[in-house]
Structure 1
Amino acid sequence: MCGIVGTVGHSPATPLLLDGLQRLEYRGYDSAGFAVLQDGSLVRVRRAGKVRDLRTAVDLSVLHATLGIGHTRWATHGAPSEENAHPQSDCLDQIAVVHNGILENHEALRDELVRRGHRFRSETDTEVLAHLVEEQFDGDLLEAVRQVVLRAEGAFALAVISVRCPDRIVAARRGSPLVVGRASGGSFLASDVPALLGHVDAVSFLEDDDLVEITTDSVRIVRLDGSETRRALHRVASAQTAIEKGGHKHFMLKEIHEQDRTLGETIHDAASSDGLCARVQAADLRPYDHVYFVSCGTAHHASLIAEYLWESYLGVPTQAIVASEFRMRSTHLTPRSLVIAVSQSGETMDTLMALRKAKQAKAQTIALVNHEMSTIAREADQALFTRAGVEV
């Protein structure tokens, strides 16, 4: 999982971007970078390696820009390198783009752009987006990004800045999470809530094919057809210590030492009067003629245990299926089917797609996740939470 962070406001952007990227390190990455708009120019700093390498790559005291975007990257197109790290730019170095996900039609789009004279400097699909925005831009950055998203295929989230629109960031999502928030000091966006903790008290979760334009004083959300919309505000608790090392050498050592406390908190919450155990016991499973657990990785391992227990003790035919297989197979789903999507993050793409397949078939759906404000939790008919703390 890559990470995106962006800020526009009254305070220097670079420290906020670096802090936000550091809070997204738990998502995993092999390179990192940021771009700011300063004195009419685009300044990009990128490195293969860790966020800490960015802190030593430039004299932060000379960067007084108050608008910028940052990114942590898992290499998919091109090796981990400075050239392939985000943000990627256009031919004129006036536009910067950060991007999570896969642009599935990037090869065809790249060929078109090359024929029209564009010069590419990386192996990434992300750079294609920067050149497309360059072509579409005619003074309105939001409209340029909207036109690009109309042509883009795949699941992605992206954020864009331009020297010619120095007061705003434009972002969009389709199948990859993006949250936005505003405070007295400015506006923020990120892939996940932890990057914004301490800066905002509430966030809005963008939905598929939402675009957002943020300035110091405003957050404007539009749909892909250009119509304006609103997204609900969700208050966020500031649990910053959960995403910091707390004096430990690394996150794994921290997790080892916190196991007893975290497990105790999870069990205590699950055993409460309105917790996970009580809600499962209260669920009337008699209307269902089949239960499916859909999940990936270690969540699937847990689902295999649940498959045995549910079928043995509840008498309901139960099947645990890897989410990617569930998406592709001809599973007979009806309104009498119950599909339980299991995901720690609540953002696992194959599991989310399996959930959406179930909903299209009018099956009943339950999310079993750790992240309460995740996409899977919000899209399922009901949600149950493990509350095991932030994944780091």
Structure 2
Amino acid sequence: MGTLMCGIVAARVDGGAAPYLLRALTLLEYRGYDSAGVAIVTEDASTAVIRSVGRVGGLTTDVAAWSGAPLTGLGIGHTRWATHGAVTTGNAHPHRDCTGRISVAHNGIIENHRALRQELEADGHAFASDVDSEVVCHLIEDHLESSGDLLRSVHAATRRLEGSWALVVTDADTGRLVAAAHHSPLIVASSAIGDFVTSDIGAIADWVDEYRTLVDGDIVELADELVWTRDGQRTAAPQAALCPFTSAALERGSHADYMAKEIDEQPAIAARILDDLVPHIADGSLWRSLEAPAFERIAVLGCGTSLNAGRVIARAFGALGGIPTVSVVASEASETILDPGTLILALSQSGETADILRALDQLEPVSAGLVAVTNNPASSVARRAASVVDCNAGPEIGVAATKTFVAQVITGVAVAVSALVATGRIDRSRAADLTDDLRRLPDLLAQALEVSKGVVPGIVDEVLDRSGFIFLGRGPGVVFAEEGALKLKEISYRWAEHYPAGELKHGPLALVDQGTPVIVVDNGDPRLASNLSEVAARGGRVITIGGAGSTIPAVGMSMSRPLVGGMDRWGPLEAVVPLQLFARELALRLGLDVDKPRNLAKSVTVE
């Protein structure tokens, strides 16, 4: 089957398309992939399809070695993350039809591909791969034979498809380029250089100032003028959005890896977010600006790190305002029944997470409304929502989320405080105290960075040979323990589990023996002492992240002035910094790529 947040790019430029395609594919590497390829129309109206298993660097070498007809300025490229079909050159994108005239790159999944393949093979089509995406080539081939028009043929072919797709299609005979989207992100952009299509604006940010987003059912031909169609009818192109950053923001600079860069950026990101939001929190204007509906309950919806961030935000609503809350694992949303008056906060750093979008199909019709909390305000989740909260973290390249977690939490908690004062659940004086606490977060994060960088490497030395780790917390510390365990699993591939510390004696204590690393998020809960005694008595290696006297004294309690507003009620956010650094340091010592962990992609656009 198709693809898991693979990368798509297409170019229609003067001169040669190859340098643009290869540069864009390099910028898309962070999304996770195992093969890459390009299909570039040649001057003799054929197509050079060059594909490679492995990194884009190998593909670049292969393109440079091309000895056929000269390459033109029209081509498409793709990075594939396999979900079905072996990682082989034959299964890599782009794919071609039987004649070699049509080339296609596809993100998403064609759910009825088996039936279509059987039908097409019965009609004499020969397939060259095991992947679902190839059926699109042959469907277009069939329709092109009768209609003679690429745009009409793509429209007819997509009407036969079930599932999700972002498609770029070239016709070598006519030099035409068409893009289509349904439940998978795709944008088009034009500039003085030429026309581009991509699944990620960062891939083409060097060459364009603005872009337009395809919505479900859009099919667009990139010609001298954009030919925009929706559900088969010609329509005006949507309003362009400004490119949010340049590709320079995707460079890692002097840092050894993107994860290090993004961890280091967290204090500055926190300060930037708060500079924007603080004036609008305590008076309720931040919430009122969202024009969200009235609510009696909050449901946070997410996956992975975004779900953890949502749980922190939910705790702020509950602990500070007495609002009943529930957290929903998006992939299990079909089992969830929402109470009347429940407002959904959907968290997705990419805004394209397939599990979130499918969950909204089930939950949104019975909810009070939907607020999207995302780092991509032009995304599919954002377009579904009545209100959008931009996390404003900037581009995040490392697959394991770090700065987007911090940005989601800060933004979400600011919204929660503003909502509570705007709806009369707390008074302005209380909201002002909470806002003062939020102002301290950049300094708290900076202190955590400084302390952790000095202490964490020595701790990793002591536990490098351990195969399993336990993370513990109490109250608001539990979700940070969960995030720490997730980070360790994602990039070090070591077993890690998290538990509320009080649950140790109900089973998990059996895992503790001599030297077992037990990482504890110590937010000052007095009950932790007895839990840690249970660990120490069985030989466990206790590593505490907390205030003064902790193994890693990185939490704000070690600073001189206590928190006055009650930020401790929803969690010690700065504790995430040593947890991130611990996971990164362990992975590096094991010789692993912390930016591109195995089996994972940056954002998951299939269920």
Structure 1 equivalent of residue 32 of structure 2:
28
Q: Is the partner of 1:197 in helix, strand or coil?
A: coil
* Matched pairs, number: 388
Which range moves more in the overlay, 143-152 or 304-313?
304-313
Deviations 1:232-267 (A, max 9, x none): 211113332221232444323433444443444344
Which range moves more in the overlay, 133-142 or 258-267?
258-267
1:350 has 2:355 as partner: yes
Mapped to 2, the partners of 1:311 and 1:379 lie a distance apart of 26
Mapped to 2, the partners of 1:382 and 1:281 lie a distance apart of 11
Q: Which has the larger radius of gyration?
A: 2
Confirm or deny: 8 A CA contact 1:100 1:157 kept in the other structure: yes
1:92 has 2:96 as partner: no
Mapped to 2, the partners of 1:274 and 1:173 lie a distance apart of 38
Structure 2 equivalent of residue 383 of structure 1:
388
Structure 1 equivalent of residue 295 of structure 2:
288
Mapped to 2, the partners of 1:234 and 1:83 lie a distance apart of 37
1:47 has 2:56 as partner: no
- Higher strand fraction (1 or 2): 1
- Higher helix fraction (1 or 2): 2
Structure 2 equivalent of residue 115 of structure 1:
122
Find 2:168's aligned residue among 159, 164, 168.
159
Q: Which runs of 5 or more residues in structure 2 are unaligned?
A: 398-607
CA distance 1:2–1:300, change in 2 (3 Å)? same
Structure 2 equivalent of residue 233 of structure 1:
240
Structure 2 equivalent of residue 81 of structure 1:
88
- With normalisation by structure 2, the TM-score equals 0.60
Q: Is the partner of 2:233 in helix, strand or coil?
A: coil
1:198 has 2:206 as partner: yes
Mapped to 1, the partners of 2:242 and 2:87 lie a distance apart of 36
Structure 2 equivalent of residue 139 of structure 1:
148
Confirm or deny: 8 A CA contact 1:2 1:73 kept in the other structure: yes
Equivalent residue letter for 2:358: M
Structure 2 equivalent of residue 68 of structure 1:
75
Equivalent residue letter for 1:36: I
Find 1:331's aligned residue among 324, 337, 352.
337
Q: Which runs of 5 or more residues in structure 1 are unaligned?
A: none
CA distance 1:201–1:46, change in 2 (3 Å)? same
Give the fraction of aligned pairs with identical amino acids, expressed as a percent.
38
Q: Is the partner of 1:307 in helix, strand or coil?
A: helix
Structure 2 equivalent of residue 211 of structure 1:
219
Alignment of 1:310-321 (within 5 A): 310-321=317-328
Alignment of 1:238-253 (within 5 A): 238-253=245-260
Mapped to 1, the partners of 2:214 and 2:152 lie a distance apart of 18
CA distance 1:285–1:254, change in 2 (3 Å)? closer
Q: Deviation of residue 352 (structure 1)?
A: 2.3
Confirm or deny: 8 A CA contact 2:188 2:213 kept in the other structure: yes
Deviations 1:172-218 (A, max 9, x none): 11100010111122211110111121222111111001101102x22
Q: Is the partner of 2:300 in helix, strand or coil?
A: strand
Q: Deviation of residue 379 (structure 1)?
A: 2.5
Equivalent residue letter for 1:81: T
Q: Deviation of residue 161 (structure 1)?
A: 0.7
Confirm or deny: 8 A CA contact 1:333 1:358 kept in the other structure: no
Mapped to 2, the partners of 1:61 and 1:107 lie a distance apart of 34
Deviations 1:72-99 (A, max 9, x none): 1110221111111000111122211100
Mapped to 2, the partners of 1:287 and 1:43 lie a distance apart of 57
Mapped to 2, the partners of 1:155 and 1:71 lie a distance apart of 16
CA distance 1:304–1:163, change in 2 (3 Å)? same
Mapped to 2, the partners of 1:295 and 1:150 lie a distance apart of 31
